[in-house]
Amino acid sequence: MSVSILWVDDEIDQLKPHMIFLEKKGYDVTPVTNGEDALSLVKEQSFDIIFLDEQMPGMDGLATLNSLKIIKPGLPVVMITKSEEEEIMEDAIGGKISDYLIKPVNPNQILLTVKRILDRRRIRDEKSAQSYLRSFNEITMMINEQPEWDDWIKIYQRLTSWQMELEESEEGLQQVLQDQFQSANTGFGKFIENEYYDWLHAGRGDRPMLSPDLFNDVIFPTIEKGKSTFLFLIDCMRFDQWLVFEQMLIPYFQISTDFYYSILPTATPYSRNAIFAGLYPSQIERHYPKLWTQADDNETSLNQHEAELMKAQFERKKLNINPKYEKILQTSEGKKISERIVDYTQSTFSAFVINFVDTLVHTRSDSKILKEIAPDVPAFRELTRTWFAHSSLFQMLKKLSGQDVNIIITTDHGSIRAMRDTKVLGDRDTSTSLRYKFGRHLRCDDDAAIYFDKPGDYFLPRSNMNTNYIIAKEDYYFVYPTNYNKFQNKYHDTFQHGGASMEEMILPLAHLRPK
């Protein structure tokens, strides 16, 4: 199918040799001498690319560009001008041109521009596919060579980067990547099963940073630098979602991203309480029994005391600081805080918990409409991008980019797309969550879960002597034999958390400094 070019120039007759050259190369060129005619044609006909003269009598190139973008926002436009003034270039770039050429232009220059713009995606996809297939063996070797905890972070980073780069590639290539990601999570689950106990009982230098270490290792040293420090904890944020947010924040901040590991279960009552308390769940239960209740899965009720736990952690550290704490559950709350966010710079430390991503995860599980809007990982990632672009959180961060402050952004756990069910046996008092359970004598397929038969050894509370925990691995979710088909269908292809996967356990920890 021939490529259709619209060329707009008040001196179009002088460009006849260029058009003949393009037509001999198989391109269909339509010439017009003014912006008005160009707009009329674009409304009536379909074009693949437009060459637009910047200096024309009447409606000039920039005015034409603005109107074109209203009619056909995605249509590539190449601006051609005699002027090299920076202001004109910025105006054109602000109008979302695809390229910018300075007169005089030669036919080969035009041809290369067409190929570069129209073939960009095909060439990019081909190069990306070739690069991934070259790195496939490297990643496979990393997975198979008994990686340590820091190696798993590198594996997860590389796979996530490829997942985002190849999201529009052909299905066959995406399936290869998906299979490799699943293979990595299989290996990661076995790694956690073998190493997690040792992490909990090792010295700090012999294991990764875990949830209870976050304040001691990151927050307190940052506070000691003397600037007002802000912690924004986005509940249930995955690394790929952070990469999306990071791109939008780069114009405002210098950003460096590290990683830490969530404790198990990777669920808000455990991981987030551990962060703010600086203690493991069983330690919170022992030292602050009034602030911990071993309930079923009501995450909201189990995280009512984060501010008090955080204050107690500051007191144990003997810091004469009154930390601020805000939990943002509703849009209206976020707007109110955004309006006065600069006031928080008067405090030494302020923590903000943002619940939207977690709410979105849970809502998608029950909403057919959201499943239609976000049917897979890339679409779900795009949905969170849209939220962040219009969020009060983004507004807060932009306002803080004008202040001399330290900002830390992280999460308490991630989520995984649950695609495989596994049957679990337990009594009626067993907890109802899908990626982890606690109860008496719980049993399921050994390949699908990690067993904690002695919860105390894993710093987890136990309601009685027979309590044990099971933690789902890979992308499994637990279903009872009773009404099996009903719940299998209900929770298949939902985003869940609580288990042992790279997406849930390996968490971004970003440091932002205003530019």
Q: What is the pTM of this model?
A: 0.82
Burial of 304 (0-12, 13-18, 19+ CB in 10 A): exposed
Read off the tokens for 119: 């073939």
Q: CA nearest 413: which of 278, 269, 301?
A: 269
Which pLDDT score, from 0 to 100, does residue 17 have? Answer: 92
DSSP state of 3: P
Which pLDDT score, from 0 to 100, does residue 129 have? Answer: 84
Which pLDDT score, from 0 to 100, does residue 221 have? Answer: 96
Of all residues in the chain, the percent with pLDDT exceeding 90 is 69
Low-confidence ranges of the chain (pLDDT < 70): 1, 83-95, 121, 293-302
DSSP state of 341: G
Q: What is the DSSP string of 180-232?
A: HHHHHHHHHHHHHHHHHHHHHHS-GGGS--BGGGHIIIIIHHHHTTSS-EEEE
Burial of 168 (0-12, 13-18, 19+ CB in 10 A): exposed
CA distance 342 to 345: 6
DSSP state of 428: T
Q: With contact defined as beta carbons under 8 Å apart, do 23 and 115 qualify?
A: no
436: helix, coil or strand? Answer: strand
CA distance 297 to 436: 10
Amino acid identity of residue 180, one-letter, is: Q
DSSP state of 98: S
Which pLDDT score, from 0 to 100, does residue 297 have? Answer: 47
Kindly state the helix (H) or strand (E) to which residue 129 belongs, with its residue range: helix 120-144
Query: Is the preceding peptide bond at 104 cis, omega within 30 degrees of 0?
Result: yes
Backbone angles phi, psi at 508, to 5 degrees: -70, 145
Q: CA nearest 455: which of 477, 431, 479?
A: 431
pLDDT tens-digit series, residues 475-491: 999 998 888 888 898 88
Burial of 275 (0-12, 13-18, 19+ CB in 10 A): buried
Which pLDDT score, from 0 to 100, does residue 245 have? Answer: 97
Q: CA nearest 407: which of 225, 276, 239?
A: 225
